[in-house]
Amino acid sequence: MTKFIIVGAGRRVQQDLLPALSFLGYKKEDVFIFAKTKKNILVRNIIYDVKKFTEIKEIDDKWIVYIAVPANISEFIIDQVLETNPRVKIIIETPINNFLLVNKYNNYNICVAEDAYFLGKYLILNEFIKIKNFNILFMYKSAYSYHGIAFIESLLSKIFFGFSVFGIYFGICKKGIALIFGEKKYEAGGIWLNSKKLNLPELTESEKKLIGGYTDFDNLSYRFLDLKRIGLVNLINNFIKENYFSISISEGFNHYKKSKIIDKYNLKIIFKKVIKTALNKLT
């Protein structure tokens, strides 16, 4: 089994990544975790040892490195990993939002951990939703930044043009139109495809365990963050294969750029900025 090196030991690693690897059959001895400080973490009744990042001495070509650190230090970590082994496969948690850095890393084997995209593809492949030639997707309080863009493109294919009017985002896609309204609050939101609200899909027992079981309030939006673990499982499983599909750093950068337009003309946000500016001038 392919070994995993994880750089970072925060919430994302503990709540999503390690459970996803366990779902795929990875044992404790198959996973090596490194972070700023040495410690132990308890994840779903398993204690993992976390070593200092400086202790990484070698990385095998067949291993995968998952980098889950804040964006402001990701370049340093990527550089250190590539210096150790420039041929290794790398998954980065957050898209690179700097065009110069995208060009810097374009020729390396690096992908973005955009699990929202793979969740959308999972829903289609397992026939939980059906995509027509033309569709209307409405996301209310359930789309956040580049994750929302990635999810839209997983269902409706590429967004050719996007604009925002009075807090409503319109995405003109290859297979329809996507609309986003409302600040992100998954538990209070909803997702509709062709006027039908999307509920929680039928899951296997192991998938139910992965997302933490069912609740009385479940729908696709309410459990979106939990369901993204299934997307992460499919992303990792796909990346391990020789002929794989992944979200490249260039594509991740495109998702990031497209997401910047979502709240550009949100009146609530503009009003808050105006009030804040006015208050700053008074003090």
Is the pLDDT score of 239 beyond 90? Answer: no
Of 141, 115, 126, 137, the residue nearest 226 (C-alpha): 115
Query: Dihedral of CA 39/44/47/48: which sign?
Result: negative
C-alpha to C-alpha distance for 238 and 254, rounded to whole angstroms = 21
DSSP state of 37: S
Characterize 132-161 residue by residue with b for buried, 16 or more Cβ atoms within 10 angstroms of its Cβ, and e for exposed: eeebebbbbbbbbbbbbbbbbbbbbeebee
SS3 137: strand
Confidence of residue 115 (pLDDT cuts 50, 70, 90): very high
Q: What does the pLDDT read at residue 262?
A: 85
Q: What does the pLDDT read at residue 282?
A: 64
pLDDT in tens, 129-174: 999 999 999 999 999 999 999 999 999 999 999 999 888 999 999 9
pLDDT in tens, 250-261: 999 999 999 998
pLDDT in tens, 175-199: 999 999 998 999 999 999 999 999 9
C-alpha to C-alpha distance for 53 and 77, rounded to whole angstroms = 9
Whole-number Cα distances in Å, 236 to 20, 149, 187? 9, 20, 27
pLDDT in tens, 72-109: 899 999 999 999 999 999 999 999 999 999 999 999 99
Q: What does the pLDDT read at residue 272?
A: 63
What's the number of CA atoms in the CB half-sphere (13 Å) around residue 169?
Answer: 30
Across the beta sheet with 190-193, the strand order is 159-165, 168-173, 176-181, 135-140, 190-193, 196-197
SS3 271: helix
Confidence of residue 243 (pLDDT cuts 50, 70, 90): low
